[in-house]
Amino acid sequence: MPDYSNGYWWSGDGLRLHYRDYPGRDDRPPLLCIPGLTRNARDYEKLAERLAGEWRVIAVDLRGRGESAYAKDPMTYVPLTYLQDLEALVAELKLTRFVAIGTSLGGILTMLMASTHPERIAGALLNDVGPEIDPAGLTRIRGYVGKANWHPTWMHAARAVAEANADVFPTYGVADWLDMAKRLYRLTSAGRIVLDYDMKIAEPFRLPGNEAGPDMWRAFDALKGKPLLLVRGETSDILSAQIAGRMHAEAPGSELVTIPDTGHAPTLNEPEALAAIDRLLARVGTS
């Protein structure tokens, strides 16, 4: 298993934020991996282990997640503040070019980063998200985000994850649910297994208009002409087939891959996703 180092950087408002840094070749742009709303750097563990050595992989914990500090003001849990945090990381690591890989919220941040400094984006992967979000998916997410729960054992946590996500991953077995639970939850010093994020991230998310920020189609335009991979779960309630098709049509040269029997969001460890990521990185390597 490739080793990674734990890195830390400071936000503009004084939060100590965390990332995992998997080493790779210096002659290739690193991969900056940004997770979804309630997720953390562990979501990219398997992908990073597969690519590390050939590619440097930087997987971040956004503020309020994983090993990053929780914000004093919950109203900073919005995309534009996350964007400022990521800009601080890019400056800290002196990243002049990188491949952005973003799942859900991470994909929104990928588009925003491209819109502010398109010259830095060597390639991008948008995982099950686009410039327009399906209202049905937003309603579902608002229904669960920020609701604290805990479990006495990892098997109890896995069962809860399975009950909540059975329609997203209908082919999963017990081992898969246990693996997912260990990405979503953490063990406290009191022996409780709890969700690994600040429940207050839900406060601004529940306000209308705070899901994405500015006009995201304009932000998406900044990715046109670059090596671009669009991944969609076949049964996703966040990225509709119609919007994914429009994105693909408006970005000539992009690749759209649909992961069968999967909802929001693919893990990027599916065979179809891995093969497409290999094709994306081959294009980055020659671009």
Write out the residue range of the structural domain in which residue 50 sits: 5-145+200-286
Q: Quick one: 179 and 107 in the same domain?
A: no
Q: Give yes or no for a contact between 110 and 126, defined as CB atoms under 8 angstroms apart.
A: yes
Q: Quick one: 134 and 190 in the same domain?
A: no
User: What is the structure's pLDDT at 186?
Assistant: 97
Q: What is the four-CA torsion angle of 62, 68, 69, 70, rounded to 10 degrees? A: 40
Q: Quick one: 254 and 277 in the same domain?
A: yes
Q: Quick one: 91 and 101 in the same domain?
A: yes
Q: Quick one: 82 and 216 in the same domain?
A: yes
Q: Quick one: 127 and 211 in the same domain?
A: yes
For strand 121-127 and strand 98-103, is the pairing parallel, antiparallel, or unpaired? parallel
Q: Quick one: 125 and 253 in the same domain?
A: yes
Total domains in the chain come to 2
Q: Quick one: 170 and 141 in the same domain?
A: no
**CA 22 to CA 20: how far, in whole Å?**
7
User: What is the structure's pLDDT at 213?
Assistant: 47
Q: Quick one: 22 and 70 in the same domain?
A: yes
The CB density around residue 200, as the number of other CB atoms within 10 Å, is 18
- Spatial neighbors of 226 by CB under 8 A, at least 6 apart, are 114, 118, 121, 122, 123, 124, 287
Q: Give yes or no for a contact between 65 and 16, defined as CB atoms under 8 angstroms apart.
A: no
Q: Which two tokens stand for residue 43?
A: 């979501």
**CA 274 to CA 287: how far, in whole Å?**
20
Q: What is the four-CA torsion angle of 273, 242, 165, 71, rounded to 10 degrees? A: 90
Where b means 16+ CB within 10 Å and e means fewer, 130-156 reads bbbbbeebeeebeeebbeeeebeeeee
Chunk the chain into consecutive blocks of 10 residues (it has 287) and report each block's average pLDDT, rounded to whole numbers.
Answer: 89 98 96 97 98 97 98 96 98 98 97 96 98 90 90 97 95 97 96 97 78 75 97 97 97 97 97 98 86
Residue 117 sits at φ, ψ, to 5 deg, of: -140, 75
**CA 49 to CA 54: how far, in whole Å?**
10
Q: Give yes or no for a contact between 200 and 226, defined as CB atoms under 8 angstroms apart.
A: no
The Cα-based distances of 216 to 89, 108, 109, 113 in angstroms read 23, 8, 10, 11
CATH of the domain at 63: 3.40.50.1820
Coil vs helix vs strand at 70: coil
Q: Quick one: 173 and 230 in the same domain?
A: no
Q: Quick one: 77 and 137 in the same domain?
A: yes
Q: How much is the pTM?
A: 0.96
Q: Which two tokens stand for residue 251?
A: 């970005």
Q: Quick one: 130 and 271 in the same domain?
A: yes
